[in-house]
Amino acid sequence: MAKQVVRRRSQRQVEDVEGNRGPADLDVLQSLVTEMLLALGEKPGRNGLLKTPERVAKALAFMTQGYHRDIDQLLNGALFPIEYDEMVIVKDIDFFSMCEHHLLPFYGRVHVGYLPNKKVVGLSKIPRIVDVFARRLQVQERLTVQIAETLKSKLNAHGVGVVVEARHLCMMMRGVEKQNTIAVSSAMLGAFRSQPQTRQEFLKLIRRGSVADSD
* Least distance from Zn ion to the Cβ atom of residue 106, Å: 7
Return phi, psi of residue 114, to 5°.
Answer: -150, 160
> Would residue 100 show up in a list of annotated catalytic residues for this protein?
yes
Return phi, psi of residue 133, to 5°.
Answer: -90, -25
* Single residue of 58, 68, 91, 102 touching Zn ion by CB under 5 A: 102
* Single residue of 7, 43, 55, 101 touching Zn ion by CB under 5 A: 101
> Would residue 165 show up in a list of annotated catalytic residues for this protein?
no
> Would residue 140 show up in a list of annotated catalytic residues for this protein?
yes
The contacts of residue 72 (CB under 8 Å, 6+ apart) are 154
* 119, 158 Cβ separation under 8 angstroms: no
Amino acid (one-letter) located at 213 = D
> Would residue 99 show up in a list of annotated catalytic residues for this protein?
yes
* Single residue of 88, 98, 99, 115 touching Zn ion by CB under 5 A: 99
Residue (114 or 133) nearer to Zn ion, CB: 133
State which of positions 142-201 bind Zn ion (CB under 5 A): 170
Name the CA dihedral angle for 180, 168, 202, 114, rounded to a multiple of 10 degrees: -170
Which residues make up the interface to Zn ion (CB under 5 A)? 99, 101-102, 170
Active site residues per annotation: 99-102, 140, 168, 170
